[in-house]
Copies of this chain bind each other. A is one copy, B any other.
Amino acid sequence: MSTSTPPSHSLHPFDQAVALVAMGAPHTFQGQVSQDYWNMVGPYGGITAATLVQAMALHPQCLGDPVSITVNYAAAVGAGRFEIEANPVRTNRSTQHWLLTIRQVGQAGEDGTSQVVTTATAVTAVRRQTWSGTDMAMPRVVPAVEAPRAPPIMGGVQWLERYEMRFVDGTLPPRWDGAEAESLTRLWVRDNPPRSLDFASLAALSDVFFPRVWLRRAHRTPAGTVSITVYFHASREDLAAAGTAPLLAQARGQEFRNGFGDQTAQLWSESGQMLASSHQIVYFKE
């Protein structure tokens, strides 16, 4: 109705970050790296995973909703444009299997040719109602409203400003004194500003934890996710029910050895339903 869009109607930073345009080539989408989710040397890994989830959702042949995605961070994604190829290589009656890559021009000092910066596979499915149950109940913790909202755990890191975090257990060590401890973190977390949960933002939230090795060792070594897997247990209805409320997010490391450590994580809705479980393997320098 108006010729200019007032700022109050502008897109949420998350929606801007995962916005994609379908290209002429089959299965191909173009996006723009968001500075709002910038990490130290590239975009936040969670937003990259979310962008791949978004590419599948936008694909005209997409069957059902995400069941799993594995994203491998092959190289730091640079600023500027990127291209996603999201190829549904096998479509069954109720499941669909995807190969995905992100490419950028000028990576790795190459001369004008685009280079693979991210690889991924995913499964989408049309899910039917079945018996459902859990074998890992949400831990009993203080409600989100009673947990103090933490300032970003590190200053000057853009993506940390995009999440409202309320730590319950295992925030950054108070001192980097090398005192070994367990690597368990629990926090209430949601988008900042709040935004209704969807599959893409659930994928992004699955990567919200700082490196487990920092907590385990009270030692801040350079570290970064090499590969993350997210299993989606939520339906669209479950996501709608979760709305904009905080999720309880839990992560711990299991094994750290010779430069790589794993992390296993769960995300529950405020009402106690596990919406996603997630795993990653993380490089650490020393």
Q: Tell me, rounded to whole Å, the shortest Cβ–Cβ distance linking A84 to chain B.
A: 14
Q: What's the Cα separation between A253 and B279 when bound, in Å?
A: 14
Task: Report chain B residues within 8 Å CB of A134.
Answer: 254-256
How many of these chains are in the complex? Answer: 2
Q: CB-nearest residue of chain B relative to A253?
A: B135
Q: What's the Cα separation between A54 and B215 when bound, in Å?
A: 35
Q: What's the Cα separation between A97 and B262 when bound, in Å?
A: 18
Q: Which of B115, B129, B262, B285 contacts A231 (CB 8 A)?
A: B262
Q: CB-nearest residue of chain B relative to A258?
A: B127
Question: Is A47 among interface residues, defined by CB-CB distance under 8 A?
Answer: no
The interface-forming segment of A36-44, A55-63, A64-72 is: A64-72
Question: Is A111 among interface residues, defined by CB-CB distance under 8 A?
Answer: no
Task: Report chain B residues within 8 Å CB of A119.
Answer: 89-90, 97-99, 121
Contact A72 B130 (CB under 8 A): no
Q: Tell me, rounded to whole Å, the shortest Cβ–Cβ distance linking A68 to chain B.
A: 5
Q: Tell me, rounded to whole Å, the shortest Cβ–Cβ distance linking A224 to chain B.
A: 11
Contact A89 B74 (CB under 8 A): yes
Contact B281 A182 (CB under 8 A): no
Which residues A175-207 have CB closer than 8 A to chain B?
180, 182-184
Contact A274 B260, CB 8 Å, known A70-B227, A216-B135? no
Contact B127 A67 (CB under 8 A): no
Q: What's the Cα separation between A99 and B274 when bound, in Å?
A: 30
Question: Is A245 among interface residues, defined by CB-CB distance under 8 A?
Answer: no
Contact A277 B259, CB 8 Å, known A72-B97, A101-B99, A121-B120? no
Contact A254 B281 (CB under 8 A): no
Q: Tell me, rounded to whole Å, the shortest Cβ–Cβ distance linking A232 to chain B.
A: 8
Q: Tell me, rounded to whole Å, the shortest Cβ–Cβ distance linking A219 to chain B.
A: 8
Task: Report chain B residues within 8 Å CB of A229.
Answer: 70, 227, 229, 279
Q: CB-nearest residue of chain B relative to A183?
A: B135
Contact A128 B274 (CB under 8 A): no
Q: Tell me, rounded to whole Å, the shortest Cβ–Cβ distance linking A199 to chain B.
A: 14
Q: What's the Cα separation between A109 and B177 when bound, in Å?
A: 63
Task: Report chain B residues within 8 Å CB of A255.
Answer: 134-136, 231, 233, 266, 274, 277
Using A72-B123, A234-B257, A257-B274 as known contacts, list a sample of 4 further A-B pairs with CB atoms less than 8 Å apart, ordered by residue number in A. Answer: A133-B180, A135-B182, A135-B254, A233-B255
Q: List 25 A-B contacts (CB under 8 A).
A: A68-B226, A68-B281, A70-B227, A72-B121, A74-B90, A74-B92, A74-B97, A75-B90, A90-B115, A95-B226, A97-B116, A98-B119, A120-B121, A130-B259, A131-B286, A133-B216, A133-B256, A136-B252, A231-B260, A231-B279, A233-B255, A234-B257, A235-B258, A254-B266, A264-B264
